Structure 1
Amino acid sequence: MVNRRKIMVCVTQQKSCERLIKRGAELCKAQDELLVVHVVKENWRYFGKLKEADALEYLFDISKAYDATLSVIKDMDIESALTKFAYKEQVDIIVMGESLESTKQQNMIHRLENKLNRDLIIEIVPLEIQVDQDLAISASI
């Protein structure tokens, strides 16, 4: 029997989320499933200042390029929504970007870890990878 894993990538409204999806894809083996999830609080715009249709299309296209399934969820409690999704989908690995928050209470990764009641691997993509990519893009323009 083949051991099929599910890898969940948590993304925000930032266009830099492709680095997270790419990392999730790098973790995937042929039989694994890649799930991209964006949670937005109810009564908030889905993607901030970006036009919602453009932002949704961008996320969909990037997810499709990496053979991932995209889910956009509206909920008042982001951590609970991510936790419910992880349990429902029986996720094995969660990929998230490094937090810039200075306290554990503000840190989404820490708050999510506290809500998860089972062993999951949480893969943190360091921020410096994005800075290096941004510099390379700027240099090539």
Structure 2
Amino acid sequence: MKSPRNIMVCVTQQKTCERLIRRGAELRDAYDGELFVIHVAKEGWNFLGKTKEGDALEYLFQKSKSYGANLTVVRSHDVLETLKDLAEKHDIDLIVLGESQEDSEENNIVSKLGKRLRDDVGFEIVPVKMKRKVV
């Protein structure tokens, strides 16, 4: 893989997405590239999975802005195809995603999206932080 220039961070409806944006910004800074934060909502669903969409969109906008990222929020019938199209449009070299809860290869978004993209597009998976158990 070539040195990343353009980084795409795929976010969901969770406020924990800030860790993904932060990681994308770290990578962007290391490679002097551009950062694109993307949220694609399935047609018919609330944009961010909440009835308070305005608050959720404002939160996402503020977090993206604070890290110097371009924010794109769209609705689509085919989320993967839309992500592919956005990756091509912005000449994305590296995609940052949160750790998937899907164990199986055929249901994993990285596998599905990877099959649609250029071979030289890389992925960085940000693990879910483990909460410490207080005894």
If the length of structure 2 is used for normalisation, what is the TM-score? Answer: 0.88
Indicate yes or no: 2:130 matched with 1:131: yes
The answer to whether the aligner puts 1:75 opposite 2:76 as a matched pair is yes
More displaced 10-residue stretch of structure 1: 40-49 or 58-67:
40-49
Q: In the comparison of the two structures, how many residue pairs are matched?
A: 130
Is the contact between residue 39 and residue 72 of structure 1 (CA under 8 Å) also seen in structure 2? yes
Q: Secondary structure at the match of 1:115?
A: coil
Unaligned runs of 5+ in 2: none
Instruction: Give the aligned residue type for 2:62.
Output: D
Report the equivalent of 1:44: 45
Unaligned runs of 5+ residues in structure 1 are none
Match of 1:7 in 2: 7
Q: How much is the aligned-residue C-alpha RMSD, in angstroms? A: 1.8
- Higher mean displacement: 109-118 or 20-29: 109-118
Displacement after TM superposition at 1:110 (Å): 1.1
Quote the residue 2:106 is aligned against.
105
Greater CA deviation, 95-104 or 8-17? Answer: 95-104
**TM-score scaled by length of structure 1:** 0.85
Question: Which 4+ runs in 1 deviate beyond 6 A?
Answer: none
Q: CA deviation at 1:50?
A: 4.8
What percentage of residue pairs aligned between the two structures are identical? 49
Counterpart amino acid of 1:11? V
Task: Please identify which structure carries the higher helix content.
Answer: 1
Inter-partner Cα distance in structure 1 for 2:130 and 2:22: 15
